[in-house]
Amino acid sequence: MRVIHRCSELRQHLARFDRPAFVPTMGNLHAGHLALVHRARPLGEVTVASIFVNRLQFLPHEDFDSYPRTFESDCAQLEAAGCDVLFAPTEAELYPQPQRFKLLPPPELADILEGQFRPGFFTGVCTVVLKLFALVFGQSKGGGHAVFGQKDYQQWLVLRQMAQQLALPVTLHASPTERAPDGLALSSRNAYLSPAERAEAVQLNLALRRLAAAVAAAVADGATDLAALEQQATAQLNERGWQTDYLTVRRRSDLQAPQGADLAGAASAGQLVALGAARLGRTRLIDNWEF
Ligand code: PAF
């Protein structure tokens, strides 16, 4: 695996390949990231991963400084997974001047859920991903492919819409969430959990699955309003010591709350997703469950 730190070297190296397959990451890799690399490998002529902890997508009180940085072990894992190129720029390399040009994703998709609790998050994500796409795919004749994890459900929808609306020469792929044997979604932030919190952490996934089952049953009985079920699920999780930002059921296609006949139609077509974000101690976890 070739490790590249400079943008110019990345461009020069990738110029000889027609269709890169790209996995952007912030490092601290786990089996979820490696599944993305495995998904990417057959898609392109060369498999590229990036590691860059992107300051633009962190709020001032968030964990940018303490975000786990595990470069040596990340390199070993990527190499073993068959990644060909690792792009790991410094901040000064990727943002040589303050990044004043930024992308403004549509508020109806980007200012809800994660965007409501982490204002500006998707602007930061879209801006860095567009810049990484420009570096990785800028010299490729046939466009390319990029793979993202479905754990970050809203991020995936925002980036897919960005690629469509900006006519980027990149096909985006979603890879299913990798889970620990107890069902906890793999996440770099799981590293912050104490042993007791780790044992409790699966409750977020269980709450989403219970909410999905309760909504499916209620809709089958003719219910048209999900607010009471969402509030009940939130109260149950909070009683266990969590601080819940949201536990909600949305349409998969656009993350809007379905109402009335639309809700019944989406439920019977299996087009709903339960999404949740909640804090356990100092760790904020997200997860989702399609049904
Ligand atoms: O999902 C992530 O790890 C990050 O949001 C991404 C896509 C690498 C952008 O920094």
* DSSP category for residue 179: B
pTM of the model: 0.97
What mean pLDDT is predicted for residues 267-283?
97
Please report the pLDDT score of residue 210 as a whole number.
98
66: how many CB neighbours lie within 10 A of its CB?
A: 9
CB distance 276 to ligand 1 below 6 Å: no
Q: Token pair for residue 179? A: 């889970």
Tens of pLDDT, residue by residue over 185-217, are: 999 999 999 999 999 999 999 999 999 999 999
- Asked whether residue 168 carries a pLDDT value surpassing 90, the answer given is yes
Please report the pLDDT score of residue 141 as a whole number.
84
What mean pLDDT is predicted for residues 56-76?
97
Rounded-to-integer distance, Cα 25 and Cα 52, Å = 7
- Asked whether residue 225 carries a pLDDT value surpassing 90, the answer given is no
Rounded-to-integer distance, Cα 163 and Cα 202, Å = 33
Tens of pLDDT, residue by residue over 8-18, are: 999 999 999 99
> Probe ligand 1: pick from 129, 136, 157, 186, max atoms within 8 Å of CB?
129
What confidence tier does 224 reach under pLDDT thresholds 50, 70, 90?
A: confident
Nearest CA to ligand 1 atom 6: 25
Percent of the chain with pLDDT over 70: 100
* Main-chain dihedrals φ then ψ at residue 149, nearest 5 degrees: -85, 140
The CA 260 to ligand 1 mean position distance, Å, reads 35
Question: How far is residue 220 from each of residues 205, 208, 271, measured CA to CA in Å?
Answer: 23, 18, 15
Rounded-to-integer distance, Cα 37 and Cα 22, Å = 8
Beta partners for 287? 276
Domains of the chain: 2-175 (3.40.50.620), 188-290 (3.30.1300.10)
Give me the amino acid identity at 246: Y
Strands (E), the chain: 2-4, 20-25, 46-51, 85-87, 144-149, 170-175, 243-251, 272-280, 283-290
**Which of 203, 195, 198 has the alpha carbon at shortest distance from 239?**
203
Tens of pLDDT, residue by residue over 246-257, are: 999 999 999 999
Residues with catalytic annotation?
A: 33
What confidence tier does 142 reach under pLDDT thresholds 50, 70, 90?
A: confident
> Probe ligand 1: pick from 51, 123, 152, max atoms within 8 Å of CB?
152
- Asked whether residue 259 carries a pLDDT value surpassing 90, the answer given is no
The secondary structure element, H or E, covering residue 108 is: helix 107-110
188 marked as part of a ligand binding site = yes
The CA 89 to ligand 1 mean position distance, Å, reads 14
159 compared with 224, residue with greater pLDDT = 159
